[in-house]
Amino acid sequence: MKRAAVLVSGGGTNLQALIDARRMGKMPSVELALVISDREGAFALERAKQNNIKISVLRRRDFASAEAYDHAFCNVLKENNIDLAVLAGFLSIIGPATLGAYRKRIINIHPSLLPAFGGKGFYGVKVHEAALNRGVKVSGATVHYVDDEVDGGEIIAQKAVAVLEGDTPETLQRRIMEEAEWQILPAAVELLCKGEL
């Protein structure tokens, strides 16, 4: 079994999808060993507590520099013997020390078919606003490796979801979560931990 850390900032529905997949026997190669949040009040932390998963809160403002934050982050992953870090709605940027130490062992879920609607500023519902404004008829979600280009790492998995007449950013966001994100993230985490990718 590989030890995964899930990095969160918000509601944590993707974390919940991982917890549920684990409970249903769909991630036999994965131990959800740690949840790291960059926000104290993230509801995702409640989900972790309810499921007896160790938590760690690392707030940028508690560190003097981006470098110090990066090193603290990397140390927490190492101290907990983490094999794979899973960004699931995590807002902070991963620094070079962590990226260097965990090359090809950090992945992210993004709510569009990358490279469309990715990069700096494309987060959460803003991604869906941009997709609807552009008039795309198909959107979806992507699981990709994290490297030094925001949302630019190699793609591991994607799933397409139709945009429907009358969709709002919120209805599209919800459907993409249900039909794509909560499916492909647990599947990709299991494949990686099983060593199949």
Q: According to the binding rule CB under 6 A, does residue 124 interact with ligand GAR?
A: yes
Cβ of residue 149: shortest distance to ligand GAR, in angstroms? Answer: 13
For residues 67-96, which are near ligand GAR according to CB under 6 A?
A: 88-89
Is 56 within 8 Å of 73 (Cβ atoms)? no
Give the catalytic positions in this structure: 110
Question: Which residue carries 């690392």 as its tokens?
Answer: 58
Q: According to the binding rule CB under 6 A, does residue 140 interact with ligand GAR?
A: no
Cβ of residue 182: shortest distance to ligand GAR, in angstroms? Answer: 9
| Amino acid at residue number 91 | L
Binding span for ligand GAR by CB under 6 A among 12-20, 45-53, 67-75, 92-100: 12-20
End-to-end CA distance of the chain: 16
Instruction: Please list, in sequence order, all residues whose beta carbon lies within 8 angstroms of the beta carbon of residue 74, skipping any fewer than 6 positions away.
Output: 95, 97, 98, 101, 102
Binding span for ligand GAR by CB under 6 A among 52-60, 72-80, 108-116, 162-170: 108-116
**Among 33, 38, 28, CA closest to 48:** 33
Q: List contacts with ligand GAR (CB under 6 A).
A: 8, 10-14, 44, 88-89, 109-111, 122-124, 127, 177, 181
